[in-house]
Amino acid sequence: MAQVDWKKISHHHAALPAAELSANAATVLERRYLLKDRAGHPAEGPDEMFRRVANNVASAESGHHLRQTMADAFYGLMRSMVFLPNSPTLMNAGRPLQQLAACFVLPIEDSMESIFETLKAAALIHQTGGGTGFSFSRLRPRGDLVHTSMGQASGPVSFMRVYNEATRAISQGGFRRGANIAILRADHPDVREFIACKEAEGALENFNISVAVTDEFMQAVESGGEVALVNPRDDEVWQRTSAAQLWHEIVQRAWNNGEPGLLFLDRTNSDNPTPAVGPIESTNPCGEQPLLPWEACNLGSINLARFVADGAINNQHLTSTVHLAVRFLDNAIDVSRYPLPEIGRVVWDNRKIGLGIMGWADALIALGLAYDSPEALSLAEQVMSLITREAHRASEALALERGAFGNFADSTFARQGLPPRRNATCTTIAPTGTLSLLASCSAGIEPLYSVAHERHVLGGERLLELQAEFEQMAVARGLDRAALADRLSANSPREIAELPDDVRRVFVTAHDIPAENHVRMQAAFQRHVDNAVSKTINLPASATVDEVDKAYRLAWRLGCKGITIYRDKSRASQVLVRSNGRPMICPDCVDLGATEICPECGAVLNVESACNLCPSCGYSKC
């Protein structure tokens, strides 16, 4: 029987000290999260926002005393910045929308009615701050017969353009633009049109795209076999093509501008806890949350940088935080108001949550470990194994208290004789763009993009800033901070020979890391995550098509559920914001766009992107 001391945990977290908010965090909170009055001025401060969210999420508890106890614990959990829920929870909890989930997947069947009913559903979701994923694989290909009109079908990509235009017209509740991902199977007759649909700069700007590939397809790629392109309407083979040639086209397009990514279907469905309900065909826009049609998920992230003490991860503190965060996310399911009844039914039947981490690069630096070291890979597995194990234990404890998720009896857990759980999945690693900005930590499991950057402030003044841990180290060692900041704005610490060896080793940046090491880090986490992992495989501008090919193959071999790469300078808009190699930030720049990959560092900006800057590297459009 799973035992969790909720009383002890709640008292511990209620007593955690509040974290200081950075100027950037305060700005983003004011622009995106705080309740506003009719004139558009903040009607609450950060403390009131966290208290609003805590009280609302705790309202799922039974009894006044327990609700107050958990409200205090949830407030401490967030205000200390050891954990933050996904953006819609911070935005909407305790407000009229009351839609707290970030991730949705909607079905698209091969009929005009389904296509436009799903578009309507997506519009409702976008209005509440959620992002949507779609598989277009069930749609008949371009040129196929439409019996009702005796005309020809226009194909999946044509409807993606319709969805893209609709998304552009919808403001996400006044907070964010809509974010989508489109998935198409590699054996669909229109796959070549699909992989080329974002070739032009700015095309389908509200979509990420990924090709869904099976193990059979990957084996054909490696053996030199063929793949049959099959019309999903009647299973007729339209064409046979070289799997290796199709693979090369996918890889070439990804090298060109970062898309398409890949979704490994068989690996993803191997962890599907409810296969009797149906297969997984799509994910949320950033790829970390595979979901069934009509399913949604609440995410939250633990700031791992806050758990380093005396040269080690404080596992006791981390364990109690995991337990409380799972209760928070499970409560959020019950108090959330879903845009459509179909979504509510699937969510309540499966109760999926996704607890992950941010601040991974910061934690490694505090521990004196290089991101690309074997020790870092080993620690990744240890930390994520603990988080997922304890998340499962908390879910089992909640099942004893509240009951298992509705589909448990038909789940893989029941078939294996495992104890009942409250949640069909418990862990996910999200990109945490804005959340990491609020918590002043590195994003998700990404490495640092740079150690120094140039900030533009009002009046035209430019200030060089160092990454916090690097600045602390420089002060402690008596290094020339100003001289270092100037050189590090254009160079990695590993390129500055006069820095101490241990500093050059630990302060590694994204482009110092070979693609293979990026993929191995993603795979290390994936081995201990219920859902999936959002990670950008950053490549230097000099990277070759062959390097992209090897990264994509390695991700499949190591058991990743998907992969996204970005090659530096592979998008034209990037050149507009570089000066002497320095990323620049302006406090009043235009919205980066909810579905872009940052052209400076490759971070995925959809769903969590701040309005004025890339949270990973400081890239600004203006």
Report the 10 Å Cβ neighbour count for 527: 15
**Any catalytic annotation for residue 491?**
no
pLDDT of residue 622: 35
286, 426, 611, 614: which one is catalytic? 286
- Residue 316 pLDDT more than 90? yes
Q: Read off the pLDDT of residues 158-214 as tens digits, 9 standing for 90 and up.
A: 999 999 999 988 854 444 567 899 999 999 999 999 999 999 988 999 999 999 999
User: pLDDT class for 336, splitting at 50, 70, 90?
Assistant: very high
pLDDT of residue 168: 86
pLDDT of residue 427: 98
Residues 6+ apart with CB under 8 A from 139: 108, 110, 115, 153, 155, 156, 159, 232
b/e sequence 356-371, b meaning 16+ C-beta within 10 Å: bbbbbbbbbbbeebbb
User: pLDDT class for 600, splitting at 50, 70, 90?
Assistant: very low
Interatomic CA distance for residues 526 and 558, integer angstroms: 9
Of 218-232, 360-374, 441-455, the least confident: 441-455
- Record the tokens describing residue 565, joined without a space: 């790469």
Question: Degrees (nearest 5) of the Cα angle 194, 569, 365?
Answer: 110
Half-sphere exposure of 106 (CA within 13 A, CB side): 25
Q: Check whether the bond before 260 is cis (ω within 30° of 0).
A: yes
- Residue 621 pLDDT more than 90? no
User: pLDDT class for 618, splitting at 50, 70, 90?
Assistant: very low
- Residue 414 pLDDT more than 60? yes
CB 577 within 8 A of CB 600: yes
284, 298, 350, 517: which one is catalytic? 284
Tell me the pLDDT of the chain averaged across its residues.
89
Interatomic CA distance for residues 621 and 601, integer angstroms: 13
Q: If you average pLDDT over residues 274-280, what whole number do you get?
A: 97
Of 104-118, 164-178, 292-306, 406-420, the least confident: 164-178
pLDDT of residue 242: 98
Site of tokens 């490495």: 447
- Record the tokens describing residue 168, joined without a space: 């552009």
pLDDT of residue 534: 97
pLDDT of residue 480: 85
Half-sphere exposure of 20 (CA within 13 A, CB side): 2
Percent with pLDDT over 70 in the chain:
88
pLDDT of residue 294: 98
The type of residue at 142 is R
Tell me the pairing of strands 536-539 and 462-466: unpaired
Global pTM reads: 0.91
564 phi and psi angles, rounded to 5 deg: -130, 135
b/e sequence 551-560, b meaning 16+ C-beta within 10 Å: bbbbbbebeb
**Any catalytic annotation for residue 286?**
yes
61, 259, 281, 288: which one is catalytic? 288
Q: If you average pLDDT over residues 475-483, what whole number do you get?
A: 85
Question: Where on the phi/psi map is residue 127: left (φ > 0), alpha (ψ -120 to 50), or beta?
Answer: alpha
**Any catalytic annotation for residue 24?**
no
Sheet holding 462-466, edge to edge: 462-466, 452-456, 582-585, 578-579
Q: Read off the pLDDT of residues 544-592 as tens digits, 9 standing for 90 and up.
A: 999 999 999 999 999 999 999 999 888 765 322 323 333 333 333 333 3
Tell me the pairing of strands 582-585 and 578-579: antiparallel
Question: Degrees (nearest 5) of the Cα angle 317, 322, 328?
Answer: 125
Q: Read off the pLDDT of residues 536-548 as tens digits, 9 standing for 90 and up.
A: 999 999 999 999 9
Q: If you average pLDDT over residues 55-64, what whole number do you get?
A: 96
pLDDT of residue 453: 66
Question: Degrees (nearest 5) of the Cα angle 425, 426, 432?
Answer: 115
Is residue 28 classed as helix, strand or coil in its secondary structure? Answer: helix
Beta strands per DSSP E along 294-411: 295-303, 308-309, 312-313, 353-358
Question: Comparing 308 with 28, which gets the higher pLDDT?
Answer: 308
